[in-house]
Amino acid sequence: MNHMRRAFTLLEMLVVVAIIAALTGIGITLGGSMLAKSRASACLGQLRGIGVALQSYLQDHQQKLPEIASGRLSKSDETPVLETVLRPYLESDQAFKCPQDKEFHAKSGSSYLWNNTQSGKHITQLSFFGIENRPDKIPLVTDKESWHPNGVNILYADSSSSNKLRFATGN
């Protein structure tokens, strides 16, 4: 019996290593993209939670939006902001943290900005860049930065959240 031992050639080994490297690269790219999309979805969920808290606030305050600043630079700042005024309506401070935010929440207490042009207004009297009586087009809360693949997430006055701009300037 002729027992010949077959081994991989150098060329075959290089081909296998190249295929594994290519598959790994594709996997890392897809994995990173999927992770970013899941974090963007989680952020939209956080904004929906803030919207629910805002609805509770409105019920307690005769349908008037809070008079608050857009944001603050530091947690030690005493200025009334989104994360201090709505905090009693949410379970934890983490409700104001976007999963993609690696900096702002730790410093200021929130990953989000309030549209202070709407501060103190009755929910039925909102206007923004000439848009009136369209709560689905009036932004109230946005990400502080464009962390997500599709841009900035926005909470609108109708309590919906989206990464699509629904407002425009001009006629």
Under a CB-based contact definition with an 8 Å cutoff, are residues 140 and 155 in contact? yes
Residue 169, in any domain of the structure: no
Residue 19, in any domain of the structure: yes
The answer for 15, left when phi > 0, alpha when psi is -120 to 50, beta otherwise, is alpha
pLDDT band at 18 (very low <50, low <70, confident <90, very high): confident
pLDDT in tens, 155-164: 999 999 888 8
Q: Residue 137: its pLDDT value, please?
A: 93
As for how many domains the chain has, the answer is 1
- CA dist 3 and 62 (Å) reads 91
Residue 48, in any domain of the structure: yes
Q: Is the pLDDT of residue 101 over 70?
A: yes
- CA dist 127 and 111 (Å) reads 24
* Average confidence score pLDDT of the chain: 87
Strand partners, 143: 112
Q: What percent of the chain has pLDDT over 70?
A: 88
pLDDT in tens, 103-115: 999 999 999 999 9
Residue 145, in any domain of the structure: yes
Residue 25, in any domain of the structure: yes
Under a CB-based contact definition with an 8 Å cutoff, are residues 55 and 107 in contact? no
Residue 36, in any domain of the structure: yes
Q: Is the pLDDT of residue 28 over 70?
A: no
Print the domain residue range for 155: 11-162
Residue 5, in any domain of the structure: no
Residue 1, in any domain of the structure: no
